[in-house]
Structure 1
């Protein structure tokens, strides 16, 4: 189906989002104009303003859709890892890496565009839903730590999110000048392993 046909069927808003995602992948979140997004979608620039006030609003919608997919992906990983709290927790980290690879345009809109997750209530809600999955996985696993040594679930999940994000940014998205001698999956798995050993959640290697 052509982009113009999608517009005539009333799908202009989504056609613009998909056009923006393609441009974001190639040029980054600030490397295109609304007029270029309109051209990519096969409509006139004036038509864009029926749905978006500016480029930032368009990117925010791309980010919202990204968080929606992301939340579904990590929730699926979490559920698949059950009933093992450890397997579920590790699965959410791997799901982060898989999402960044499969949905690079969404990932950039979410994490590299400078758009606040609080720009719209809908974006904030989807972002929070994703965070809550990570917190739930961290909370389940943290129950195996003595209460006096147990970090807050929000801190626990923030550490793993930061570790996953770092691996993605440095080694999984072909950052110029940065190459690892190890696959990103191995870096993430060993990093999480070191972190969990420090908390006493998995045994030391013999």
Structure 2
């Protein structure tokens, strides 16, 4: 694996970048802090100027991932307006797009075992990101009679679970799980079935 090294004194970010590369190559538990230092082109001792250990480094990668994710979700949501349905569907597609474009961040966020409660900043950023799902679900659910309306948190959790499942099984090249359909189509049809069940879109003829 080629060393990335660091420039202009930005050692902290060089270590995060090294961490992300190693996560993509080996998973969140498949590398040591010494390997991250070597990938960044510094000595292991230099790492401790910025991070207490590997989990602290991965937590920073997760934080940066949630920041990107939150901005992407906000953008997708706002691009889908003024239609509540279009905004809601756009957030689902944004989840899939993020996982594909930022696989290291995605794993650090959702598969590393790092709790979003680890730091107040991580919790706030993760809450902002997932809050877009809930906002989109809440607006769309206003079209359902109140006595039949699921809580927005449940509504958004269903779509999150569906999006996460498509990513895990079909969008990241997991061995033995190749689908005959593009992940985007799987997600779109799955969301469509779910929304039809809630009466939010018309059934097929």
TM-score band w.r.t. shorter chain: over 0.9
What are the residue-to-residue correspondences of 1:135-154 with 2, within 5 Å?
A: 135-154=134-153
Deviation (angstroms), 1:10: 2.6
Deviation (angstroms), 1:5: 4.7
Is 1:201 aligned to 2:200, yes or no?
yes
Unaligned runs of 5+ in 1: none
Kindly provide the CA deviation profile for residues 27-84 of structure 1, in whole angstroms up to 9, marking residues without a partner as x: 0001111111011111111000001000000000000100110011111000000000
The 4+ residue runs of structure 1 with deviation greater than 3 A are: 2-5
Equivalent residue number for residue 173 of structure 1: 172
What are the residue-to-residue correspondences of 1:49-198 with 2, within 5 Å?
A: 49-198=48-197
RMSD over aligned Cα atoms:
1.0
Task: Provide the rounded CA distance (Å) in 2 between the counterparts of 1:130 and 1:184.
Answer: 22
Is 1:46 aligned to 2:32, yes or no?
no
8 Å CA contact retained: 2:58, 2:108: yes
Task: Provide the rounded CA distance (Å) in 2 between the counterparts of 1:84 and 1:23.
Answer: 41
Deviation (angstroms), 1:117: 0.8
After TM superposition, the score normalised by the length of structure 2 is 0.97
Unaligned runs of 5+ in 2: none
Task: Provide the rounded CA distance (Å) in 2 between the counterparts of 1:42 and 1:181.
Answer: 42
Task: Provide the rounded CA distance (Å) in 2 between the counterparts of 1:48 and 1:191.
Answer: 44
Task: Provide the rounded CA distance (Å) in 2 between the counterparts of 1:143 and 1:5.
Answer: 50
Task: Provide the rounded CA distance (Å) in 2 between the counterparts of 1:4 and 1:114.
Answer: 27
Task: Provide the rounded CA distance (Å) in 2 between the counterparts of 1:148 and 1:138.
Answer: 16
Kindly provide the CA deviation profile for residues 94-124 of structure 1, in whole angstroms up to 9, marking residues without a partner as x: 0000000000000010111111111111111
